[in-house]
């Protein structure tokens, strides 16, 4: 029950933070790419990698770990929005932006999570 409470609280905070980033960046869409979604997914991936590395080194309590990962970062990151934006690009026939956005997001988020893991204490 404690884990569920921490996940619920983390999800609410993560969702509000995600909304805040969208408001802060407004409709910023340089080169036609959705910056807010990219930014939250990159930051969220790096933070998740950090927590995975930290968990390997010092073992956070289960309720804290789940509250931060599944709750906070799950509420903050936006895979469904990422897919919806890719769908819009597909429907518009904008294959160049589709490939660029999908490729850059996947690569950057992977690198971010790996670097986060290294910073978290789990050296490779």
Structural element, H or E, at residue 21:
helix 2-25
Q: Judging by beta carbons within 10 Å of its beta carbon (0-12, 13-18, 19+), is residue 53 exposed, middle or buried?
A: buried
Tokens of residue 124, six digits: 């490779």
Q: What is the DSSP string of 76-102?
A: H--HHHHHHHHHHHHHTT-HHHHHHHH
Q: What distance in Å separates the CA atoms of residue 83 and residue 89, rounded to the nearest whole number?
A: 10
Q: What pLDDT is recorded for position 26? A: 78
Domain boundaries, the chain: 2-120
Percent of the residues in the chain that have a pLDDT greater than 70, as a whole number: 95
Span 39-86, pLDDT tens digits: 999 999 999 999 999 998 888 999 999 999 999 999 999 888 899 899
Whether residue 124 has pLDDT greater than 60: no
- What pTM, to 2 d.p., does this model score? 0.81
Q: What pLDDT is recorded for position 73? A: 95
């Amino acid at each position: 029950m404690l884990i569920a409470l921490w996940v619920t609280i983390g999800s609410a905070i993560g969702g509000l933070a995600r909304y805040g980033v969208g408001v802060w960046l407004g409709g910023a869409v340089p080169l036609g790419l959705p910056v807010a979604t990219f930014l939250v997914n990159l930051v969220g991936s790096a933070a998740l990698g950090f927590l995975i590395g930290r968990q390997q080194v010092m073992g956070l309590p289960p309720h804290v770990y789940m509250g931060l990962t599944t709750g906070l970062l799950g509420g903050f990151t936006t895979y469904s929005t990422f897919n919806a934006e890719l769908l819009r690009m597909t429907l518009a026939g904008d294959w160049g932006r589709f490939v660029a956005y999908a490729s850059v997001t996947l690569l950057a988020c992977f690198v971010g999570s790996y670097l986060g893991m290294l910073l978290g204490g789990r050296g490779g």
